[in-house]
Chains A and B, each alone.
Chain A
Amino acid sequence: MRLAWFTLLALAATWQSLGKAGLFTETTDAQHFSLYEETARLTLTHFHELPLWNPYYCGGIPALGTPSARFASPTFLFTLLFGTLRAEPLILMAMTVVGLEGAYRYALARGGGAAGALLAAPIFALCGCFARWQSFAWTNFYGFQLVPWVLLGFRDLCRGSRRGVLVFASTLAWMIGFGGTYAAPITALATVTEAIQALLARRHRPGNFARLAAAVGAAAAFALALSLFRLWPVAENLSASPRVLGGTEWTTLESLRRDLFGDPAQKYLHGDYLAGLFVLPLFLLGGLRRRAMPILITSLFWLWLALGYGVKPSLFALLRTVPPYTMLRAPERILPLFVLGFAVVTSLALRRLEVLCRRAPTAVLLVLGSVGVFGMNLFTLVRNASETAKARTMIAPPAVVHREFRQTRGNRWLAFYYAEASRGTLACFDDYNVAESPDLRGDLPHEEYLKDTDAGMVTETAWAPGRLELKVALLRPARVYVNQNWHPGWRASRGIVVADHGLLAIDLPAGVHDVVLRFLPRSAILGSLASLAAVCVGVYVWRQTRNSDRFGSGAALARQVGLFASPLLLPLFGLLFWREPRRPQEPMLTPDGEPIVVSLPPVDATRILARWVSSGITLEAVRLKKLDTSTDRDTRISVELDWRFDKKPPSGVGVFVHIEGGSSNLIALDHAFLSGTILIDDAPLHTTLRDVSEELLIPNDKDPKEMKVFVGLFYARRDGARLMDIQADAPVERGRISVGSFSIP
């Protein structure tokens, strides 16, 4: 009956969205999120192969390695049945039911009582964030609906339940498969707090620590194995093309209050993370209970994190020093954890009143009143979901054109249109530095070609996203180019696969060849095998738990731990036999194509010799160069800074360049890569490193003007503070050095 009620609630909350099924959300992110899902669907249904490679975006990216792609999840069945756009609201509805049931079970496990848990579950699963994310088509963010399940599984496994391991690992793997770029790392934080609570609960029984450690270790290994099909490709992809993130995002308590409890002055109660205002007294009442204490403490941590850099000391800043949280932004996205805790505490309040009824029957009025309050809150949450969905701008979906695949220059702001027209868009965006060849072209008559055109000819005989068949006739050995990105997972039936400036290419001898190029990456294949093995182990353990759910102790415990960890042996053995080529290092060249690492600064550079003493960093010289490409209308310049690092620089340091003067606004060049290539953290020591900017464009004014240039260092990927201990002959002010000026005609 409960599940039926939850389904009805989810239906009500998504009713408006269901009515817009099949239309396309007019937001920027919808373009690439929908593209990831649609190309996975096409690959499976049209080309009958597993979606391992996505040639439709950025010139080709590993599909499973794309962090925010959501197709590796059970919800993909909806996409296969109804199509990408029609399935979207059904996925939202299904995930809402999952979230409602999970929140119910979690609140119950926390002592909320059946009635309290039932009434409090919608506070989490219908939270305003889910309505908001839907507006941006951030469907993969619905992975947050799995948070209570992961925590529930973790609580159970801490108590020695093997089913707890299964629930924990399977829901975490689902979350990761669903593109939980925020949900998974944030849930990992919540899991740490659950682990601390479990440890504290056993502080008087230290003998149980070993058993707890064994259970947690088994769960971690099993969760890793179960999600390896996705984690490995994503890790491989991000290590090849990392996300280097700066910024000091922050918010205020007042803003968080509005997000969580809405603004009563508005037409309807709306908040980006709306938990509801009406249940606030119940939260306060529930907070008085001893059971609520750990939840309240962790909730304070979530609020502290959510404030980002807006509070000192900043917990978020500290978190950002720990990989993989170095890539985390938007601190307010931690709020769903707060909302879950909030919901649980309100359920504790109702439970308290229920118990009170036994002693004071008149308290039943309080219970009824509380139920009414929950009802009013539920109404506001459903209304918020409805009104937010109503406000979504939806447009007719693009035309579908089935034809030969070609890369185009494309446009990431219209990416979905290109994919639907059998075109790949080279111009793209995702939240990381995509490993993309600069030699890709959007105007080729054929996607496979020879640069040495006299050497022979290439004909494409069959095409699928992860499989190309070519007929190659060569008079002499030659290199065949494919207008897609190279990846270590590409293999050829003939010849040698090579990366040519990041482009996929095959070296072939003279003669006539039928070449089959396949994309079979080790990470996805071995990772998937490990996950499959983990599924088998999971089924076996589930059947065993019918008799006893406990881990046991001694040898039985060790056996169980070994069983849960055993799927990881498969990829470990695989690594011994399956070798893949290494990704070639990006050439260390300036934008002009000159070497970055040199023994001395260029002779025409102006010597500066400014030192950041404690960091061992020296700015040796500066060159401000007017470029020949300047016109009557604009002056084009480049700024070269010549650095020397005598010890490993502080982690997260970046360079800022300010150019001031004339009628132009301040030109700020903040960067963490020298010449756009070498991350400062990884800079070679005891040599000169040329940090040349790309071209700057300065409009010529009516009157000549003098532009002054200032340079400094700052914690670009930390709190943004400037490094102040500078020794220099040049003038220094507020952590920046005046390094010169140039005039604009």
Chain B
Amino acid sequence: MLRAVRDKYAWAILLAAWLMAGARVVRRPVRREPGAISEALAKQVYLEITGEEAEERRSAALRFQGNGWSQQDDFHAKEKGTVRNVAREHHVSISSAISALDLGMRERWPTKPNAVVAQKVIPCRPRLAY
């Protein structure tokens, strides 16, 4: 009898704990980043991000000599920083900046002189040691 009552309370506590967890998870409204920006602004964002590519790739090549994938990966790490900085400067979201980069490459938007925008990638080959 006592055990049955105790079990009932235990189940109630367990259920209440999960309800609290569920409520805490769904209660908080999460606003996703806004996506759309004007074409003119997107073109400017594209111009600025791709303008850094040649120098970022050179710097990555100096850091990871003779390892093409690591150079590419290091460039992409730098590109992430550039995307974030350019997005911040233009008060747009990272999602918008990425969207501009994608569209710009696809539609061959104008870039700065001497800009290099690679369209192919080197297959993933992690380094021997990290």
Contact = CB atoms under 8 A, between A and B. Distances in A.
Interface of A: 1-4, 7-8, 10-11, 14-15, 18-19, 21-23, 58, 82, 85-87, 89-90, 93, 243-248, 329, 396-401, 406, 408-414, 417-418, 420-421, 423, 426-445, 502, 634, 639, 654, 659, 667-672, 676, 693-697, 699, 716-717
Given A3-B14, A398-B95, A654-B128, A427 B72 contact: yes
Given A412-B76, A421-B35, A695-B66, A8 B13 contact: yes
Interface in B75-101: 76-77, 79-80, 83, 93-96, 98-99, 101
Given A396-B30, A398-B94, A670 B80 contact: no
Contacts of B61: 695, 697
Nearest to B129: A247
B17 A443 contact: no
A614 B80 CA distance: 48
A423 B98 CA distance: 10
Nearest to B105: A443
Interface in B5-61: 6-7, 9-11, 13-14, 17-18, 20-22, 24-26, 28, 30-35, 58, 61
A441 B11 CA distance: 55
Contacts of B73: 412, 427, 429
A716 B106 CA distance: 42
Given A18-B24, A21-B24, A90-B25, A246 B77 contact: no
Contacts of A432: 124, 126
A426 B65 CA distance: 22
Nearest to B3: A1
Given A82-B26, A438-B120, A401 B35 contact: yes
Contacts of B25: 18, 21-22, 82, 86-87, 89-90
Contact of B128 (A244, A429, A445): A244
Interface of B: 6-7, 9-11, 13-14, 17-18, 20-22, 24-26, 28, 30-35, 58, 61-62, 65-68, 72-73, 76-77, 79-80, 83, 93-96, 98-99, 101-102, 105-106, 108, 118-126, 128-130
Taking chain A's interface residues, is the majority helix, strand, or loop, or is none over half, making it mixed? loop
Contacts of A8: 13, 17
Given A22-B28, A22-B30, A441 B119 contact: yes
A421 B94 CA distance: 12
A19 B99 contact: no
User: B18, B25, B118: which has the most chain A beta carbons within 10 Å?
Assistant: B25
Contacts of A695: 61, 66
A668 B63 CA distance: 10
A89 B28 CA distance: 13
Given A1-B6, A421-B35, A694-B68, A434 B123 contact: yes
A85 B18 CA distance: 18
Nearest to A633: B58
Given A22-B25, A426-B120, A431-B126, 14 more contacts: A11-B21, A15-B24, A19-B28, A21-B30, A396-B93, A406-B102, A408-B101, A408-B102, A411-B79, A412-B73, A420-B95, A421-B98, A438-B121, A442-B121
Given A11-B17, A246-B129, A426 B121 contact: yes
Contacts of B125: 433, 676
Contacts of B126: 243, 429-433
Contacts of A676: 68, 125
A639 B80 CA distance: 32
14 contacts: A11-B17, A15-B24, A21-B28, A247-B130, A248-B129, A397-B33, A398-B95, A410-B121, A413-B77, A417-B98, A421-B99, A427-B73, A443-B108, A445-B106
B92 to A, nearest CB: 11
A411 B79 CA distance: 8
User: B28, B34, B68: which has the most chain A beta carbons within 10 Å?
Assistant: B28
Given A11-B20, A245-B128, A247-B130, A1 B83 contact: no
A245 B129 contact: yes
A439 B73 CA distance: 18
A330 B99 CA distance: 36
B24 to A, nearest CB: 4
Contacts of A246: 128-129
A696 B129 contact: no
A23 B31 CA distance: 9
A247 B77 CA distance: 22
B72 A18 contact: no
A417 B11 CA distance: 41
Contact of B30 (A23, A408, A440): A23
Q: 8 nearest interchain CB pairs?
A: A247-B129, A399-B35, A22-B30, A436-B123, A246-B128, A399-B95, A4-B13, A434-B124
Nearest to A659: B65
B58 A634 contact: yes
Given A3-B14, A18-B24, A399-B93, A414 B98 contact: yes
Nearest to B79: A411
